[in-house]
Amino acid sequence: MKKRDIAFGIFGLIFAIVCIRLGIWQLQRLSDRKHLNTELRSRAATRPVDLAALPKDTGEAHFRRVVISGTYDYDHEITLTNRSRNGSPGVNIITPLRVMSDTAILVNRGWVYAPDGMTVDLARWRETSSMNGDGYVEFFRKGNGTAKSATHERAYRWVDDRIVTQAFPYPVRPYLVVLIDDSTKRGENIPPRVDVPPLDEGPHKSYAIQWFSFAAISIVGTVLYLRRK
């Protein structure tokens, strides 16, 4: 057997080993993702705690249920555009809740229908000025492009730290509280609350299958090549 063929066989074997290792790594990430999803679901189902008991670590605080109370500042509420519900377009209403004289928490009060996914009469959905309720903690996210709508003054595609500093005239805590549906509170002006989002397992399983497929192709191809030689 020529040295070139031996080198080809070694390369094919090494490539297959690397692919197998990458496939195993993706399966490990899938296992970690499942474990995290289970933990997040359990947090959303636990009894709510006071804001003061919320863990300082963002990873530990995510999806924790909290009790909040304060006064809504409807003059500075914003909307998150292009949010769908059961296939219908709409927006999420984000209202600052003044919990202290100089601090606010952004509260996701719920989803309302908007034919264009942007335009809605916010005055139609004003609840009482003071509130006592509970929800789960969700954090700001970063997106690509421009977050603020070019045609709607207080409409945004997402909420991040930069938007918070520009859109509100007071300090805002670094997270959202998404209100949970309360069967005792019903009214025509109360928007449907946003459900806990589904927690998917990500693309790790498909990536693992791809890497194992590459490994199998490398092994079979190398064997066939060497047998022909």
Between strands 172-179 and 103-113, the pairing is parallel
Burial class (CB in 10 A: 0-12, 13-18, 19+), 80: buried
Which pair of structure tokens corresponds to residue 210?
A: 């791809």
* Alpha-carbon gap, residue 199 to 136, rounded angstroms: 14
Placement of tokens 């109360």 in the chain: 190
User: Which residue ranges make up each domain of the chain?
Assistant: 3-39+203-228, 64-179
Q: What is the pLDDT of residue 148?
A: 81
* Alpha-carbon gap, residue 229 to 227, rounded angstroms: 5
The pTM of this model reads: 0.71
- CA distances 134 to 63, 65, 120, Å, are 12, 7, 25
pLDDT tens track for 97-111: 998 778 899 999 999
Contacts of 205 (CB under 8 A, 6+ apart): 26, 27, 30
* Alpha-carbon gap, residue 160 to 92, rounded angstroms: 15
Of the candidate ranges 28-42, 73-87, 203-217, the one whose mean pLDDT is the lowest? 28-42
Which residue(s) pair with 177 in the sheet? 107, 137
Q: Could you tell me which residue, 97 or 62, shows the higher pLDDT?
A: 97
Confidence of residue 71 (pLDDT cuts 50, 70, 90): very high
Q: Where are the beta strands (DSSP E) in the chain?
A: 49-50, 65-72, 78-80, 90-100, 103-113, 130-138, 155-156, 172-179
For the segment 133-159, the average pLDDT, to the nearest whole number, is 83
CB 94 within 8 A of CB 175: no
